[in-house]
Each structure stands twice: as C-alpha cells, then as structure tokens.
Amino acid sequence: MSVLEMLVRRRMQEEYAKGTSPERITRLLQEFFNGTEASQADAIPRRTSDNS
C-alpha cells in the first residue's frame, strides 16, 4: 500500500468517526485530488516555442 493510499484511508476513517456523511467524504477527497493535480501541473516546467 502506498503512502497516499494510507493517508486517504486514514482521512476517511477519521471522517467516518466524526460522523461525516459518505457524500461529504467523497467531496472532500475530490477536492483533495483536484488540488493535488493542480499543484503538480504548476510544478511541471513549461517549454516555450520561442527560438530566439
């Protein structure tokens, strides 16, 4: 099991323990993964087509 999987499972267990609804947990995870994708995209250096 990867570190990411362990973190996600732990977060889900914590939210279930607090009584968070499954729908809310789904939204929390979607927001987390969307934020992760955005931060990875920002970290990728972009090449320009400028040949000067």
The mean per-residue pLDDT over the stretch 43-47 comes to: 56
Determine the Cα angle at 30 with ends 27 and 31, to 5°.
85
The verdict on residue 40 lying in a domain is no
Residue 29: its pLDDT value, please? 87
What is the helix (H) or strand (E) element at residue 16, kind and residue range? helix 3-18
pLDDT value, residue 32: 84
Q: Is residue 23 in a domain?
A: yes
Q: Which of 3, 7, 2 is nearest to 28 (CA)?
A: 7
Domain assignment present for 21? yes
- How confident is the model over 14-41, as pLDDT tens digits? 999 999 999 999 998 888 888 866 665 6
* Nearest CA-CA partner of 13 in 32, 33, 5: 5
Domain range for 7 is: 3-34
Examine residue 44 and state whether it is found in any structural domain, yes or no.
Answer: no
